[in-house]
C-alpha cells in the first residue's frame, strides 16, 4: 500500500513561519518570544505542521533540541519559500506606486513634433500600465468636445487661446504653401503673392466654414489666398493628395510633407520672407480636475519644455 501523501496544499503560511523561528531560535520558548506569541501556541503550531506533513521535524526533550533530518530539509525549503514571500511583498509595494488607467488624447492629424514624440516615449517608460487612446480630430471638433463634455485633453492648432479653456502653448508649427509637380508654378524659386492669389486653392474643410478656429484660415486669408476653392477635405492626407494631383495650391505643415518634397511630388512656393506658422496648444476644461494619467502627462510636458526649449 503506497504511503499517504501529505496535504501540503492546505499548509498554513503561519505554521511554516513559526517552524522557521523554532529552528533558528533552537527552542520553542525563544521562538515564542520572537514571534510575540505564547509558548503553547508555538508548540501547537509545530505539532499541527508535523501532523500535516506526516513526519517528526524536531527532537525535543528537557535536555536537548535538534532538528531531525527531515526537519532540516523542510527548514531549508521553508527559508526559500519565505524569502520568496518577502520578495513578493516588496514587489507589491513597488506596484502601489504604479498608476493604471487610460490617457485619452484628441490630436490633429499628421502632427510632426519631437516634443510630443519624446513625451509619449518617456511617459510610457515611466507609466507602463497606463494605456494610450489617441483619436484624430480637427481643432474645431476638439475644442467643441472639450468645451461641451468638459473632459479629456486635446492637442490642436489655435490662432489664440480659447476663453473658458486651459490652453497651454506647446510649440509653433511651420506651414508652407505648396503646389504639385504638374502645376505651372512648380520649380519656381520665388513667386509673388499676387500670382498665388489668383490660383485655385485646396483647403481644409474646417478652415472654410464654422467658427474659424483653425489658424490655416487666418494664414490663408492673411495672404489673400483661397478666393476660389478647388477642393477641400477635413483630412490632411486628402488635402495633400489633391495638391499633388494638381487641383490647386494649398497650405500644409512643412514637417508632415518633407518626404513628398524630397521625392519631387510637392514644391514649396515662397512668396514672403516671413515664415508662416500656427501655434499648437494642449487644451483641457478647467472645471474638471485632470485624472491621474492626464496630470502626469501635463506635468511631463512642463518638464520637457523646461529641459529642451529647442523642441518648442
pTM of the model as a whole: 0.61
- Burial of 170-187, coded b for 16+ CB within 10 Å and e otherwise, reads bbebebbbbbbeebebee
The residues pairing with 233 across neighbouring beta strands, listed in sequence order, are 204
pLDDT tens per residue, range 225-275: 878 889 988 888 899 999 999 999 998 988 889 999 999 999 999 887 777
Instruction: Quote the pLDDT of residue 206.
Output: 61
Instruction: Quote the pLDDT of residue 110.
Output: 80
Instruction: Quote the pLDDT of residue 98.
Output: 62
Ordered by start, the domain boundaries in the chain are: 8-95, 101-311
Instruction: Report how far residue 75's alpha carbon sits from residue 24's, in angstroms, rounded to the nearest whole number.
Output: 9
3-class secondary structure, 311: helix
Instruction: Quote the pLDDT of residue 198.
Output: 86
Mind listing the pLDDT tens digit of every residue in the chain (312 residues)?
Answer: 455 455 556 677 788 889 899 888 888 889 889 888 998 888 898 999 888 888 999 887 767 788 899 989 998 988 888 888 778 777 766 555 567 899 999 998 888 889 999 999 999 999 999 999 999 888 888 999 999 988 899 998 888 899 999 999 999 888 889 999 999 999 998 888 888 888 999 987 764 444 434 566 666 776 678 788 899 888 888 999 999 999 999 989 888 899 999 999 999 998 877 777 888 999 999 999 999 999 999 999 999 999 888 766
Instruction: Quote the pLDDT of residue 15.
Output: 87
What kind of architecture, by CATH, is found in domain 8-95?
Answer: Orthogonal Bundle (1.10)
Q: Do the domains at 8-95 and 101-311 have one common CATH topology?
A: no
Residue 301: CB atoms within 10 Å:
21
Phi, psi angle pair for 66, to nearest 5°: -160, 150
What kind of architecture, by CATH, is found in domain 101-311?
Answer: 3-Layer(aba) Sandwich (3.40)
Instruction: Report how far residue 265's alpha carbon sits from residue 262's, in angstroms, rounded to the nearest whole number.
Output: 8
Instruction: Report how far residue 226's alpha carbon sits from residue 249's, in angstroms, rounded to the nearest whole number.
Output: 9
Instruction: Quote the pLDDT of residue 219.
Output: 67
* Cell numbers given for 210: 464654422
Instruction: Quote the pLDDT of residue 218.
Output: 64
Amino acid at each position: 500500500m503506497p504511503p499517504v501523501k501529505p496535504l501540503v496544499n492546505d499548509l498554513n503560511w503561519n505554521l511554516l513561519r513559526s517552524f522557521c523561528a523554532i529552528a533558528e531560535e533552537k527552542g520553542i520558548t525563544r521562538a515564542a518570544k520572537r514571534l510575540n506569541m505564547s509558548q503553547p501556541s508555538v508548540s501547537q503550531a509545530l505539532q499541527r505542521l508535523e501532523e500535516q506533513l506526516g513526519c517528526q521535524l524536531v527532537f525535543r526533550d528537557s535536555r536537548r533540541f535538534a532538528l531531525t533530518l527531515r526537519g532540516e530539509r523542510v527548514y531549508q525549503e521553508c527559508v526559500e519559500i519565505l524569502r520568496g514571500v518577502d520578495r513578493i511583498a516588496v514587489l507589491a509595494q513597488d506596484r502601489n506606486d504604479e498608476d493604471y488607467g487610460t490617457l485619452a488624447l484628441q490630436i490633429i492629424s499628421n502632427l510632426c513634433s519631437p516634443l510630443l514624440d519624446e513625451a509619449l516615449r518617456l511617459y510610457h517608460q515611466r507609466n507602463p500600465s497606463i494605456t494610450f487612446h489617441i483619436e484624430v480630430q480637427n481643432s474645431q471638433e476638439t475644442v467643441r468636445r472639450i468645451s461641451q463634455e468638459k473632459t479629456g485633453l486635446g492637442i490642436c492648432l489655435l490662432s489664440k487661446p480659447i476663453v473658458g479653456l486651459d490652453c497651454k502653448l506647446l510649440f509653433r508649427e511651420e506651414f508652407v504653401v505648396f503646389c504639385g509637380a504638374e502645376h505651372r508654378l512648380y520649380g519656381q524659386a520665388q513667386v509673388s503673392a499676387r500670382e498665388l492669389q489668383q490660383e485655385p486653392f485646396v483647403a481644409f474643410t474646417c478652415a472654410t466654414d464654422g467658427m474659424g478656429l483653425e489658424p490655416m484660415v487666418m494664414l490663408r486669408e492673411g495672404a489673400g489666398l483661397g478666393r476660389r476653392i478647388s477642393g477641400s477635405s477635413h483630412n490632411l492626407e486628402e488635402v495633400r493628395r489633391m495638391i499633388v494631383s494638381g487641383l490647386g495650391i494649398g497650405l500644409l505643415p512643412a514637417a508632415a510633407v518633407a518626404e513628398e518634397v524630397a521625392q519631387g511630388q510637392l514644391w514649396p512656393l515662397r512668396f514672403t520672407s516671413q515664415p508662416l506658422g500656427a501655434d499648437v496648444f494642449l487644451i483641457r476644461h478647467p472645471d474638471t480636475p485632470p485624472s491621474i494619467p492626464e496630470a502626469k502627462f501635463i506635468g511631463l510636458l512642463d518638464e520637457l519644455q523646461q529641459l529642451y526649449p529647442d523642441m518648442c
